[in-house]
Amino acid sequence: MTISIGNDHAGTAYKFAIIKHLEAKGITMINHGTDTDNSVDYADFVHPVANDVENNTSEFGILICGSANGVAMTANKHQKIRAGLCWNKEIVHLIRSHNNANILCIPARFTAIQQVIEMVDVFLNTEFEGGRHQNRIDKIPLSC
């Protein structure tokens, strides 16, 4: 499995913890995020992650910023992306099982690193339920 990850300055420590955790499980990581705490623009790191997921370079994406709102809004501009903002495992389970989310957006300023590691594991281990949820997902993309 390959996962793309991106972050702004608020999520650098979280990104490194996630990468260490997932690489220990044999998962290949593509790092599109900043590696410092210097202020950056989150969109510069979101689009490469979303492109990887859209183009099937990565099965999933993970995005981290202070509130996760900016990264979620930016990622969801891509037609094939379903990015969900989560701050606990229960919401993570729902974005995968009901919404078939392919990018997890994490608010670094409102979560702890150990909590985020658990959220990532739930994200990667939860299957999409399909059925009535697929009908709803089919209505998400705009058809202009």
Positions marked catalytic? 65, 98
DSSP state of 55: T
Q: 98-129: buried (b, 16+ CB within 10 Å) or exposed (e) per residue? A: bbbbbbbbbbbeebeeeebeebbebbbebebe
CA dihedral 120, 123, 126, 127 (to 10 degrees): -140
Total number of residues shown for the chain: 144
Count, in order, helices (H) and strands (E) of the chain. Answer: 6, 5
